[in-house]
Structure 1
Amino acid sequence: MSEPTLSASSPAERGPSHAELAAAAATTTTPHAGTAPPLAKKVPAERTHHGDTFVDDYEWLRDKENAEVITHLEAENTYSEAVTAHQQPLREKIFAEIKARTEETDLSVPARKRGWWYFTRTEEGKQYFVQCRVAAADTGDLRADWTPPVIESGTPIDGEEVLLDGNAEAEGQPFFSLGGMAVSEDGNLLAYAVDNAGDERFTLRIKDLRTGELLPDTVENVFYGLVFSPDGERIYYTVVDDTWRPHQIKMHTLGTEAGDDVVLFEEDDPGMWTGFDLSPDRTELLVSVGNSEYAETHTLDLTDPAARPRLLLSRDEHVLHGMDPVTIDGRRHYVVTHNGGPAVERAVNNMVSLVPGAEFEKPFAEQAWATVLDHRDDVKIEGTAVTRTHLLVALRRDTTERVQVLPVQGLGTAAQAEPVEPGFDEELYTASLAGADYESPIVRIEYTSFLTPPRIYDYELATGALTLRKETPVHGYDASDYVAERDWAVAADGTRIPVTIMRHASVKADGTNPALVYGYGSYELSMDPAFGIPRLSVLDRGVVFVIAHVRGGGELGRTWYDDGKKLAKKNSFTDFITVTEHVVKAGWAAPNRVAAMGGSAGGLLMGAVANLAPQLYRAIVAQVPFVDTLTSILDPDLPLSALEWEEWGNPIEDAAVYEYMKSYTPYQNIAAVPYPKIAAVTSLNDTRVLYVEPAKWVQKLREVTTGTDPIVLKIEMDGGHGGASGRYEGWKDRAWDYAYVLDALEATEKL
């Protein structure tokens, strides 16, 4: 496949100067007339790798402790507000529409765990969830005992306890995010972790649920995930290093100082991520170390305070895998989802095996793994979960995520039962496991589609009965007013690219419509069918909402991912352009009324297509965009950079990777062309994509573009990777993004 060449012209040849841009902004008749963009000073910084030197004039913006940097970012916000001020009424309308459609006072379906029904409440006017529980009954009637109680929105029930009120926790704080919660086996203690900055470093606290009092124990700088020991005397948690890479598993004993916490496991490889999962029977911790290519698993006996992690499967075998412990006939086994085993050379879409625990004591090549589900080219096995009686399998077929169920008894033998898959009546949907207690006779399945609000089903394992427990209410919504359908675009190399087209039912393919094309395409993450209330405001204004399922995602299995990473990354960008051209040619979009949107790695996608095909788009919204990719990946001391080598390649050691990344990194390939309207949206405390990337990108775009369309940076000064905290603030963020797009597409009025 021939790929478009991304420009790498020198800064001296990149179009009008800052002064000329400022003059153009001051004389234009657009709504931002008289407003000049903030112009950052140039402080040339050289970077040399593999004999290539790059001069970066705006690298100084990285120092957020510099008052001049903060002043500049505040000026960017002022400019953004001025340029988009005329969109404020539209933002308010969209926010009001989101709010009116949302059941503000609502609650989740209670989930039973160890003698309690746990659920969350939301209350009108309040930003955060309230975590609650009520005692469960044990009558001996399994079906009755596992049928969730009927609880009314806004009405407490007898015996209801509030475990944690996010609104009270957030009071007086600039930001609030909950990084994990765990309740001790006896139900008396609650461990929870809170972030008040947006940098994903949490403070661990413990609450006595009998008294409501906080214990004196406090542990700073913990990461996601908390687990109690079975006796409730110890808490296990992860810690990140200076690059925000989780690298340690630690144990805190209640009543001791945090400085005395024991490091149980430490991973020194900067390219490996560490985490853990609690076994379904809550007696074992599975410590996993890995990247996108291979993994390693250790086990830790939680019943023994002196236990230390024991290796099960080494990274040296280069097997990407996950494990679920299960006891069968009194013997410990492990259900292993993997892409290769002792007798399997390669299973790119994964297979499932059952392995007796004793087998891991043997050399890898001598271990006996019994096949439960074999590899298939047309099915990607995503993972598994277990109850005492059943194995649950998450898989993807025809781009759609599904669930299969089969009994534990007979697994891996001739007596193994055939998997059963709960059936649903839509073509494009997502069915995923939402909860499965080890002792439960039912499992919970969450179902949604582009047109169906989230539903919660209980699936009875013994009978296969599927019971709808709840569908999220959406006020004033009629699914028949909208259409969601699958289409396919064809890339230059003949690859068929899945395309989702959503529209109001009255919109026809007549070549006149405004369209918004959304994409991501990295880390094997799939843009699965899901309902979104904010999206309705876009569809109601006649915009065709398109999702480009580009290579680099996981929609069509592991090969789809592999074909959009490392030295094949440009496929993600050209696929997106192909999809854009396809929807125009098919009549779904007018050629001069198309916008693009993507976030994080999807923001890299936005930056790349802006360089490759700026003429295709009226506007581009890049949310927390990864647009200075090469700079970040070249510095292993930056947050998470070393972990990214398995996604992009290692440009430090490999000159070919360096040259390839240099050829597409948006910041280094800005050309003297008329760029469309561009909005970069970011957060000061984001640790995944640093604010400096969009800040530098915006400056260089303004410097080089030959057009006069405004380029703005909107930065949340108290937010993280997901923006500001709180649901209402989140709705305001979506309203801002969509109003920006609708204004650019001249689609501000409802049909």
Structure 2
Amino acid sequence: MQHNNNVQWPEVSAPIAATHPYKRQIHGDTVVDNYYWMIDYFKKGPRSEAVINYLNEENAYTTAMLKDTESFQEDLFLEMKSRIKEKDETVPYFKNGYYYYSRTEEGNQYFKFCRKKGRLDADEELLLDIDNLAEGYAYYTAKGFSISPDNRLLAFSVDTVSRREYTIYIKNLETGEIYPDRIANTEGTAIWGNDNQILFYTAKNPVTLLSEKIMRHSLGTDVSADVCVYEERDNTNYIAVGKSKNCKYIIISSESTLSSEIWLLDADLPNNDFKVFQPRRKDVLYTIVPLEDRFLILTNDDAINFRVMQCPLNKTGREHWTTFLAHRPDVLVSDIEEFKSFLAIAERKDGLTQLAIYNLSSLEQHYLDFGEVAYTVYPGINVEYNTESLRYGYTSLVTPSSVYEYNMRDRSKVLLKQQEVLGGYDRAAYKTERIYAPARDGVKVPISLVYKEGTKLDGTAPLLQYAYGSYGASMDPSFSSNRLSLLDRGFIYALAHIRGGEEMGRQWYEDGKMMRKMNTFNDFVDCGRHLIEQGYTSPNHLYAQGGSAGGLLMGVVANIAAAQYHGIIAQVPFVDVVNTMLDETIPLTTNEYDEWGNPNESDAYFYMKSYSPYENIEPKEYPNMLVTTGLHDSQVQYFEPAKWVAKLRTVKTGKSVLFLKTDMDYGHGGASGRFDYLKEIALEYAFLFKLEGIDH
């Protein structure tokens, strides 16, 4: 491997973790795991203290090795922070007589949630001051703001640990009193019945963190008396409760990767029982959209890219469904935003998002046009049902996030707000492209690129390749003011739209999961190879980054294409796939069987084992690597990256560096404040710049 040889690193010894052999035996296969003991802090086992000591040693090593970048990291942090408008506010949305918005103040990490009655020039009513509430907490997230139908009460939820376990609080907006009703261990959303007295919420299992029950709470009663109105028996399903936009229904949804079920209740009668809309069927997903005179059903029933069906309000079984919008093999229907007279239908075609407007009375349909090669458009906050205005968001790799209001009748549009980049941003100074890389099996994989005008495309430019590639989550091109710090120093940024996402339709996802998961990893490597072949970069200057399931991708890429990458950043990486998927006490495991397979089945076990990064480390030179995790992460537990790094340390050869940075205060999403997270990005960028010999 030819890599930059001019990087100077301090002479500091890396920590070597203790080994305590543990045998895993299943399907006639025996594996010795020397670092299984690192689960102890999570499981409250006997070696808990040793785990913390090891993580602290790794943190100290990372700090010592990157010591000479600290002032540069601070400069990068201030540079990125200086682009953010500190005193800002969101575009107000109108609901039930009030305009709601959030605003941020200079120097403060959080925000204030406010409203104005009737007019935007009315007096401001401060509903929640999150800056004030978050004082004294290392981590603080408030979400799920839900106003009662009579506008008097606010339900909101708080997580102070970063494990996504939310406590719901109720505030009287007339008196300022926070009621004694405190509902712990929830998903964080409270839904009001139309009587202003009853709330529905999703309760979590305290160990697995799975959403298991929908509960009904009556204001002023003891939480222990709350009634379970729905219990999910299938531990592979996620459940949630919501309310229809026309406020007529409380809706429970239960969904796995492959199958779903909806239950309904008249919101005027919140003490009644929920009724099933259509019982779940194997491999059939559906969601519903209540209109005035019928339900629309978005489903993949006999339609891989989804179609739209309709049924009467009082006959919801599948036998009563008729076609509203037929299936199209080249278009994925992803969402429907309903209004009294119009529908806004979010679709994907040729890897790009698009919006269709459908007039419910004339039955005419038209599309919005955006005029860029790679962009993202999506419905914005549209809480009003009886309106002809659609809010939508728009962004691209060179267009800052924008909110538009579009009149669905006369087709006029107004830009309500565009993210302001302080210090000036000249869109013409940057170039965006969309190219297609041939994968090894002949499939063409889209790549969205952005770089500064004048960047030499002769193989000498450093390039950061990013992807995710799981759960059907599409990584669409979007603007980042932080990314300018990379582009302005000569980096090219490449977003690879690999299989496992849904960018090219539902089949794109199906071809990158379960027993076809290797396509995801191979696509990424093939995209990197194509970028080298096309002269954008070279192996000396090619870097890869991904987080969570994208961190699994990084782990596999490090094993199968080490020579192609000079450095890798793996954020909260899911790298110990087999062991985690065998342990049903780890949060979210059973929900994931439809994505990765169930390793209690022999075929799934051996397929997972064939790519799991932790299981496939071998004696060879690996790329330079920065691995990040959070001690309280509930999505990917800290011990996965910790074990992976510990094993890599003892097996890999050569002089490449390997760093593990564990945030001892945070979880999966990192810091909660709007500036703290920039320190993490500054560390990642400083790592890349150090490898490139860039020091300012």
TM-score of the aligned structures, taking structure 2 as reference length: 0.96
**Which residue is equivalent to 2:19?**
42
Is contact 2:295-2:312 (8 Å) kept?
A: yes
Is contact 1:451-1:482 (8 Å) kept?
A: yes
Aligned counterpart in structure 2 of residue 334 of structure 1, from 291, 295, 299:
295
TM-fit CA distance, 1:240: 1.4
Is contact 2:398-2:430 (8 Å) kept?
A: yes
Q: Secondary structure at the match of 2:543?
A: strand
Q: Secondary structure at the match of 2:449?
A: strand
1:451 has 2:415 as partner? no
Which stretches of structure 1, 4 residues or more, deviate above 6 A after TM superposition? none
**Which residue is equivalent to 1:349?**
305
Aligned equivalents of 1:694 and 1:220: distance in 2?
Answer: 30
Is contact 1:543-1:747 (8 Å) kept?
A: no
1:92 has 2:56 as partner? no
Q: Secondary structure at the match of 1:192?
A: strand
1:214 has 2:178 as partner? yes
Letter in 2 for 1:378: D
1:395 has 2:347 as partner? yes
Aligned equivalents of 1:539 and 1:748: distance in 2?
Answer: 15
**Which residue is equivalent to 1:744?**
691
Q: Deviations over 1:226-271 (max 9, x none)?
A: 2111121011111111211111111111101111111110102111
**Which residue is equivalent to 1:12?**
none
Q: Deviations over 1:8-64 (max 9, x none)?
A: xxxxxxxxxxxxxxxxxxxx9965433222222111111111111111111111122
Letter in 2 for 1:102: I
Letter in 1 for 2:61: Y
Aligned equivalents of 2:70 and 2:426: distance in 1?
Answer: 28
Q: How does 1:564-643 map to 2 (within 5 A)?
A: 564-643=512-591
Is contact 2:201-2:216 (8 Å) kept?
A: yes
**Which residue is equivalent to 1:368?**
320
Aligned counterpart in structure 1 of residue 221 of structure 2, from 240, 243, 256:
256
Letter in 2 for 1:598: G
Letter in 1 for 2:521: F
Aligned counterpart in structure 2 of residue 418 of structure 1, from 364, 369, 390:
364
Aligned counterpart in structure 1 of residue 465 of structure 2, from 517, 533, 549:
517
Identity percentage over the alignment?
38
Q: Secondary structure at the match of 2:437?
A: strand
Is contact 1:618-1:745 (8 Å) kept?
A: no
**Which residue is equivalent to 1:672?**
619
TM-fit CA distance, 1:287: 0.9
Is contact 2:167-2:188 (8 Å) kept?
A: no
Aligned counterpart in structure 2 of residue 204 of structure 1, from 135, 160, 168:
168
Aligned equivalents of 1:741 and 1:29: distance in 2?
Answer: 14
Aligned equivalents of 2:8 and 2:147: distance in 1?
Answer: 54
Q: Deviations over 1:177-208 (max 9, x none)?
A: 12411011111111100000001101111111
Letter in 2 for 1:673: K
Q: Secondary structure at the match of 2:675?
A: helix
Q: Deviations over 1:126-146 (max 9, x none)?
A: 111211111114xxxxxxxxx
Letter in 1 for 2:96: R
1:246 has 2:211 as partner? yes
Aligned counterpart in structure 2 of residue 427 of structure 1, from 368, 373, 384:
373
Letter in 1 for 2:237: M
1:269 has 2:263 as partner? no
Q: Secondary structure at the match of 1:316?
A: coil
**Which residue is equivalent to 1:13?**
none
**Which residue is equivalent to 1:230?**
194
1:551 has 2:507 as partner? no
**Which residue is equivalent to 1:381?**
333
Aligned equivalents of 1:240 and 1:621: distance in 2?
Answer: 32
Letter in 2 for 1:407: N
Aligned counterpart in structure 2 of residue 490 of structure 1, from 428, 431, 438:
438
**Which residue is equivalent to 2:37?**
60
Aligned equivalents of 1:427 and 1:337: distance in 2?
Answer: 28
Is contact 2:463-2:493 (8 Å) kept?
A: yes
Aligned equivalents of 2:347 and 2:7: distance in 1?
Answer: 50
1:461 has 2:438 as partner? no
Q: Deviations over 1:280-318 (max 9, x none)?
A: 112212211111111111112222132122111111354
Residue correspondences, number: 684
Is contact 2:634-2:667 (8 Å) kept?
A: yes
Aligned counterpart in structure 1 of residue 447 of structure 2, from 489, 499, 504:
499
Aligned equivalents of 1:166 and 1:745: distance in 2?
Answer: 40
Aligned equivalents of 1:434 and 1:353: distance in 2?
Answer: 24
Q: How does 1:77-88 map to 2 (within 5 A)?
A: 77-88=59-70
**Which residue is equivalent to 1:283?**
248
Letter in 1 for 2:341: T
Aligned equivalents of 1:550 and 1:113: distance in 2?
Answer: 39
1:165 has 2:129 as partner? yes
**Which residue is equivalent to 2:114?**
132
Letter in 2 for 1:39: I
Is contact 2:407-2:413 (8 Å) kept?
A: yes
Q: Secondary structure at the match of 2:150?
A: coil
Is contact 1:394-1:433 (8 Å) kept?
A: yes
- Which structure 2 segments of 5+ residues have no match? none
My pick for the range that moved more, 603-612 or 222-231, is 222-231
Aligned equivalents of 2:426 and 2:398: distance in 1?
Answer: 9
Q: Deviations over 1:583-613 (max 9, x none)?
A: 1111100231111100000000000000001
Is contact 1:534-1:735 (8 Å) kept?
A: no
Letter in 2 for 1:301: D
Q: Secondary structure at the match of 1:322?
A: strand
Q: Secondary structure at the match of 1:581?
A: helix
1:359 has 2:336 as partner? no
Aligned equivalents of 2:471 and 2:56: distance in 1?
Answer: 33
Aligned equivalents of 2:566 and 2:693: distance in 1?
Answer: 10
Letter in 1 for 2:689: L
Aligned equivalents of 1:422 and 1:212: distance in 2?
Answer: 44
TM-fit CA distance, 1:276: 2.3
Q: Deviations over 1:696-724 (max 9, x none)?
A: 00000001001222211111111111112
Q: Deviations over 1:636-695 (max 9, x none)?
A: 22110111110011111x211111100000000001001121111110111000010000
Is contact 2:398-2:450 (8 Å) kept?
A: no
Give the root-mean-square deviation of aligned CA atoms: 1.5
Is contact 1:628-1:697 (8 Å) kept?
A: yes
Aligned counterpart in structure 2 of residue 650 of structure 1, from 563, 585, 598:
598
My pick for the range that moved more, 609-618 or 276-285, is 276-285
Letter in 2 for 1:675: Y
TM-fit CA distance, 1:278: 1.1
Letter in 1 for 2:234: D
Is contact 1:281-1:438 (8 Å) kept?
A: yes
Q: Secondary structure at the match of 2:180?
A: strand
Is contact 1:594-1:745 (8 Å) kept?
A: no
Q: Deviations over 1:307-365 (max 9, x none)?
A: 1221111113542111111112xxxx21111011xxxxx2110011111133325xx4x
**Which residue is equivalent to 2:357?**
405
**Which residue is equivalent to 2:257?**
292
**Which residue is equivalent to 1:343?**
none
Aligned equivalents of 1:249 and 1:302: distance in 2?
Answer: 15
My pick for the range that moved more, 166-175 or 300-309, is 300-309
> Looking at both structures, which has the greater relative contact order when contacts are Cα pairs under 8 Å and sequence separation is at least 6?
1
Q: Secondary structure at the match of 1:42?
A: coil
Letter in 1 for 2:353: E
Aligned equivalents of 1:523 and 1:443: distance in 2?
Answer: 28
Aligned equivalents of 1:244 and 1:31: distance in 2?
Answer: 45
Aligned equivalents of 1:748 and 1:248: distance in 2?
Answer: 53
1:301 has 2:283 as partner? no
TM-fit CA distance, 1:464: 1.9
- Which structure 1 segments of 5+ residues have no match? 1-27, 138-148, 150-156, 341-345, 410-415
